[in-house]
Amino acid sequence: AADSCTKILKYRCSGCISVGNPLNSRNFSKLLRACPYQCDRHKVIVEAEDRYKSELRKSFICNKKILLTPCRRQQLSSKSAIPGEINEHI
Amino acid sequence: MFQGQRGWFCGSVGQDLRQFWMAEGGTVSDWRAADFLFSSDASHPDTLRIYHSLDYIEDNATVFHAYYLSAVANAEIKNSVALGHFILPPASLQKEIRRKIGGFIWEQDQHFQTEKNEEV
Ligand SMILES: [Zn+2]
ipTM: 0.86
Nearest to A64 by CA among B88, B10, B54, B113: B54
**Mutation choice for B interface testing from A13, A18, A25 by most B CBs within 10 A:** A25
- Identify which of B57, B63, B92 has the shortest CB distance to residue A57: B57
Q: What pLDDT, in 10s, does the model give residues A13-65?
A: 888 876 555 889 999 999 999 988 899 999 999 999 999 999 998 887 777 77
Q: Which residues contact A71 (CB under 8 A, 6 or more apart)?
A: none
pLDDT tens-digit profile, chain B (120 residues): 999 999 999 999 999 999 999 999 999 999 999 999 999 999 999 999 999 999 999 999 999 999 999 999 999 988 888 899 999 999 999 999 999 998 888 886 544 444 444 444
Distance separating alpha carbons of residues A76 and B8, to the nearest angstrom: 44
Q: Which residues contact A32 (CB under 8 A, 6 or more apart)?
A: A14, A15, A38, A42, A46, B84
- A46: amino acid identity, one letter: V
Q: How many CB atoms lie within 10 A of CB B88?
A: 26
| DSSP tag of B81 | S
Q: Decide: A17 and B53 in contact? Cβ < 8 Å.
A: no
Q: For residues B42-81, b (16+ Cβ closer than 10 Å) or e, as one string?
A: beeebbbebbeeebbbebebbbbbbbbbbbbbeeeeeeeb
Contacts of B16 (CB under 8 A, 6+ apart): none
Q: Report the separation in Å between the CA atom of B103 and the middle of ligand 1, taken as the mean of its atom positions.
A: 14
Task: Give the pLDDT band (50/70/90) at residue A86.
Answer: very low
Residue A72: which pLDDT band, with cuts at 50, 70 and 90? low
Q: Are B13 and B38 within 8 A, CB to CB?
A: yes
Hey, of A5, A14, A28, A32, which one would you mutate to test binding to chain B, going by the most B CBs within 10 A of its CB?
A28
Interface membership of B3 toward A (CB under 8 Å)? no
Separation of A47 CA from ligand 1 center, angstroms? 13
Tell me whether residues A26 and B60 touch, CB distance under 8 A: yes
Q: Give the pLDDT score at A21.
A: 59
Chain-chain contact of B85 with A25 (C-beta, under 8 angstroms): no
Which amino acid makes up residue A5?
C
In this predicted model, what pLDDT tens digit does every residue of B2-11 receive, in sequence order? 999 999 999 9
Q: How far is A74 from chain B (nearest CA, A)?
A: 27
Q: Which residues of A touch B37 (CB under 8 A)?
A: 25
Q: Please give the span between the terminal C-alpha atoms of chain B, in angstroms, as a whole number.
A: 35
Instruction: State the pLDDT at residue B105.
Output: 85
Alpha carbon distance A31, A43 (integer Å): 13
Contact: B82, A17; criterion CB under 8 Å: yes
Helical pair B67-74 and B15-23, crossing angle rounded to 10 deg:
50
Predicted model pTM: 0.78
